[in-house]
Homo-oligomer: A and B are copies of this chain.
Amino acid sequence: MRKMHEFLDNEVTLAFVRYGLIVIGKMMLMSTITAFVRMKKKAFANPEDTASFGKGENAKKFLRTDPDVERVRRIHLNDLENIIPFLFAGFFYSFCGVTLSTALMHYRIFLGSRIFHTLAYLIPLPQPSRALAWMAGYLVTFSMMYKIVMVAFTMS
């Protein structure tokens, strides 16, 4: 049986798993924040979700779109759009023979960019804070993809 110790004898892949875990955990947190903001703002998407607030017209008024809820949902979608390429690139990048310090720099900038992006979006901070945070993670992912291209397209 192949164990983590064998699979992750590659210290860069081990670093990827660690940072991937944190990034995924951060993304999953958005579900909980969405639920929390929906409760707080009493803004739901489904009639069955408002049933506990009463019947008929009384419940219908909670079936609405709220700017704060939509804001959290956009963060979550933006996470999906950016974290999936990171997971694909980060995994294969870890087998490209890069040094641990170079890989850590990539993984850490990405993690920092996503955390700062979420804060800039939630607070919200004036632009271009959010745009720059997003850009940092985007470029780090492209940098890893470029390395994989160099390795994967030059192999026989």
Contact = CB atoms under 8 A, between A and B. Distances in A.
Interface of A: 1-5, 7-14, 17-18, 20-21, 24-25, 27-28, 30-31, 45-49, 51-52, 70-71, 74, 76-77, 80-85, 87-89, 92, 95-97, 121, 124-127, 130, 134, 138, 141-142, 145, 148-149, 151-153, 155
B97 A152 contact: no
The 3 closest A-B pairs by CB, nearest first: A4-B95, A7-B95, A2-B10
A95 B49 contact: no
Contacts of A10: 1-2
- Count identical subunits in the complex: 3
A91 to B, nearest CB: 9
A82 B155 CA distance: 28
Nearest to A27: B85
Contacts of A125: 48
Given A51-B127, A127-B52, A17 B148 contact: yes
A64 to B, nearest CB: 13
Contact of A80 (B5, B51, B70, B81): B81
A11 B1 contact: yes
B4 A152 contact: yes
21 contacts: A1-B97, A2-B10, A4-B92, A4-B151, A4-B152, A17-B148, A18-B152, A20-B88, A20-B92, A21-B148, A21-B149, A21-B152, A28-B138, A28-B142, A48-B124, A48-B125, A48-B130, A49-B127, A51-B126, A80-B80, A87-B88
